[in-house]
Structure 1
């Protein structure tokens, strides 16, 4: 039986199905704009990390911090604060006020963009709620997203504060990965909500063996993408990308020497540069192979329907681009532009995987 012959009542529904068609379009467009802004936030975060800008603002003022220094005296005060931490003394000693202003504006833009996302979420939310365009469940969910966004700002400061330690020139890798994971988790939640508002009724897909296998492969690929992103966070946090700048071998070895030099063994996955970079390479390769298998499985399964097959093809192209970006970034020894694009495209790849899962949510049970 074709998916197109299944009555609408047999399709799986999401909570937004009670909204009018006009309201679904308006609300989903608003949420997609927020998703686009969040990808921009992820890109800005990568740029501030790669340029060493993240520690340039030494105080956390969630409200008044939106106002940048407006006088020369305030610029001097901010610069004097920055001069007290090891990053300035070791990496930027003597670069002057003009150099400080350059990295300051990068970090200020990152924080300003986060505040702007909060406003773009809160103000339309109030309007839609007052005008009755939202269900109670959707209001509660979106308010939770707003609160989590504010907590993400606090997690960001928790990360930044670790770089002020007198024995450090950068933030702690674990806190960096925590900040990154929270950002992606919030992004996935808002993206899934936007997709469900736009298409609350999931077209029924018969649960044949091939269909179920393909959906499981998509779940596996999505999990691997997330795991690879986390490994990339540790690669960034430990600056592992600046070592072993050859591919596919690492100083002539498939598995680098010193992979297991730390004890206990699990510490190597988070703090040992050879192991951290190798794990990121390995996970990226396995992810690409699993996505390749997913695409082949999907193309051989006409019951999925063209929309689902199209998104799987897009997933295949997206992972090829991301893999090429990763190798390029490594071989060029992580220039800021390449590292930023690589991190940003990782978010794009994850987006395509989430859309694929959303399109397959109508698969019936065997």
Structure 2
């Protein structure tokens, strides 16, 4: 028997087919979804603050001012002159003081101490906010099936980030070191962006009813989603490379653009032996790779944006417009950072916009997968 042709305006879902069931996150108490989203949004804001304060801690050379790792007792800063003197004496025994800050006064020490203490304190707050929220939702039975393991994994990454933070600081306390190892800094910053990205994705998942998201995924744009995924991965690589640049102050090495020291390639690009050391320790090589990857991010962002122009969903198109705009701003800031030899206010703005760009790419990727369907009135 031949099938009757459908009108192009006919509803695809038959009226006798059961309606889409609410997703597991929608089951149970109706306010669970909103409350979990609020909790994750608070974590998101704290992680953003942590990244920015971490950048300022690095740019002010404050990261090695606290030479011990006391998870509980280190929560309180020095409260007396005797305690301040003890912390200062510990710092004066460090290689950074001997090689870079010899003669520093205790007042100058307080300045760098507060940056590092604030960075560590924020890390403790993030851990407590995660633990308090997770335990409260679990005790009240508001964690839907499938989410406890996901949220536990998020907590494990937060704990791992704390351990990596000390692993990073410990490298800078070794003989002959005046800053942390650049590759450890890159791991630390990279994991921070992974945590931020996971939280952002979950907040987006909770921003709409799951039944709506499941229905929207049927209209997802696979090629656009793949392009956004590739852009996300390339941007992550660029962020890690930026940490390598910051780790060895490579941003101050060649304050010219578009050339580097008068040529396309920096001089003595492969001067260190073995050759692999140049990828981590040669300022010219590290900055050159960071520049080239930035150009690649820009090219891919334009290509993905052109593909997004064909999306039938206005919200998706606007999301990729925002991504392209943020890429343009970030490139301008990167050039400014080079020309200004990474002045503090320029460098930290460059890092803050990297956070914004990262979140915008994740949002655009989410909308490519689960678009918000525009409805025509009337």
TM-score of the superposed pair, with normalisation by structure 2: 0.88
Aligned equivalents of 1:76, 1:30: Cα separation in 2: 39
Shift in alpha-carbon separation, 1:13–1:356, aligned structure 2, 3 A:
farther
2:228 is the counterpart of 1:215: no
Do structure 1's residue 358 and structure 2's residue 371 form an aligned pair? no
Alpha-carbon distance between aligned partners in 2 of 1:258 and 1:70, rounded to the nearest angstrom: 50
For residue 333 of structure 1, what is the aligned residue in structure 2?
341
Which of 217, 235, 260 is residue 204 of structure 1 equivalent to? 217
CA displacement 1:96-147 (0-9 Å, x = unmatched): 0100001100110001111111122121222222222211432232223223
Per-residue CA deviation, residues 19-57 of structure 1 (Å, 9 max, x unaligned), is 655321221122122111101101111110110100001
Residues matched between the structures, number: 358
Does 2:301 correspond to 1:288? no
The reply on whether 1:267 has 2:277 as its aligned counterpart is: yes
Q: 1:148 aligns with which of 116, 140, 157?
A: 157
Matched, 1:346 2:354: yes
Aligned match for 1:195, one of 196, 204, 220: 204
What are the residue-to-residue correspondences of 1:158-237 with 2, within 5 Å?
A: 158-199=167-208, 200=210, 201-202=213-214, 203-204=216-217, 206=219, 211-237=221-247
Unaligned runs of 5+ residues in structure 2 are 1-6, 372-378
Residues 242 and 333, structure 1, Cα contact 8 Å, conserved in 2: yes
Alignment-derived partner of residue 16 in structure 1:
25
* Gap change, CA 1:34 and 1:76, over 3 Å in 2: same
Larger radius of gyration: 2
Give the Cα separation in 1 of the matches to 2:339 and 2:297. 20
Is residue 2:331 matched to residue 1:318?
A: no
Contact 1:3/1:204 (8 A) holds in 2: no
| Distance in 1 (alpha carbons) for counterparts of 2:251 and 2:306 | 32
1:257 aligns with 2:284: no
* Cα displacement string for residues 179-202 of structure 1 (whole angstroms, at most 9, x for unaligned residues): 112211222222222222223324
Deviation per residue, 1:234-263 (Å, 9 max, x gap): 111121111001111111111212222334
RMSD, aligned α-carbons: 2.5
Structure 2 contact 222–369 (Cα < 8 Å) conserved: no
Cα distance in structure 2, aligned partners of 1:12 and 1:183: 36
Q: What's the secondary structure of 2:369's corresponding residue?
A: coil
| CA–CA distance in structure 2, aligned partners of residues 12 and 296 of structure 1 | 36
CA contact under 8 A between 1:56 and 1:107: conserved in structure 2?
Answer: yes
Secondary structure in 1 matching 2:154: helix
Q: 1:6 to 1:78 in 2, by over 3 A?
A: farther
Higher helix fraction: Structure 1 or Structure 2? 1
Change (3 A) 1:168 1:13: farther
Q: Which runs of 5+ in 1 are unaligned?
A: none
Q: Look up the SS of the partner of 2:175 in the other structure.
A: coil
Query: Which secondary structure does the structure 2 equivalent of 1:360 belong to?
Result: helix
